[in-house]
Amino acid sequence: MMRLDKRLYEVIANIPKDARIVDVGSDHGKVPVYLLRNNIVEYAIASDISPYSLEKAKALAERHNIINRIDFRVGDGLDTIKEGECDTAIVAGLGARLIIEILARNKISLDRYILVPHQKPEMLRDYLNDNGYILINSKLVLSQKKWYTVFVAEKLKNNSNIMI
C-alpha cells in the first residue's frame, strides 16, 4: 500500500477514469504508480527533466510490479509528449512561473490540466483566466502544514465564444 499526502490525493481525485496521463516533473513517480496500481488510468507517462528523478520513479514502479505500464521520459515540460498520446497533464510541485512557462510553450491539445503550484497560485490563476483556460475546479488543500491550491483547468478550443 502506497501512502500519499493530501495534496496528491486531491490531484488523483480530479483524474478522469481511464485517462491517459502525463505527469510532468514526476520526480518520485507516486502519482502515475498510484493511478495505474488502482486501475484509475489506462496509460501513464512519467516525465522529468532529471534522469536521477526518473530513476526513483522507475524503482517505485518496479516495486509495485507496473514497470511495463509506465513510459519514462527525460525532458522539459510537455515537450516529451506527442499529439494524441495523452489527454490529461499533471504539473504539481513546481512554482507558478515555471508552470506558466510550460503551458505557454505547449503545442499539444489536452483535455484536462491538473496544476499545483508551490507558490504564487494567484499568478497561475490569472494566467489561466487570461489565456483561454476555463477553471473546472480550484481547491485549497492543507498538506504537511502547507497550503496548496489545486487547479483543474481545460483549454478552450479556438472559435469558442463563452460569455461569463
Q: What is the pLDDT of residue 158?
A: 65
Any idea which architecture 19-155 has in CATH? 3-Layer(aba) Sandwich (3.40)
When pLDDT is cut at 50, 70 and 90, the band that residue 163 belongs to is very low
pLDDT tens profile 50-105: 999 999 999 999 999 999 999 999 999 999 999 999 999 999 989 999 999 999 99
Cα separation, 114 vs 159, whole angstroms: 24
State which amino acid sits at residue 163.
Answer: M
Domain ranges of the chain: 19-155
d(CA 21, CA 31): 10
Q: Is the pLDDT of residue 13 over 70?
A: yes
Full-model pTM: 0.92
Q: Are 91 and 121 in contact (CB under 8 A)?
A: no
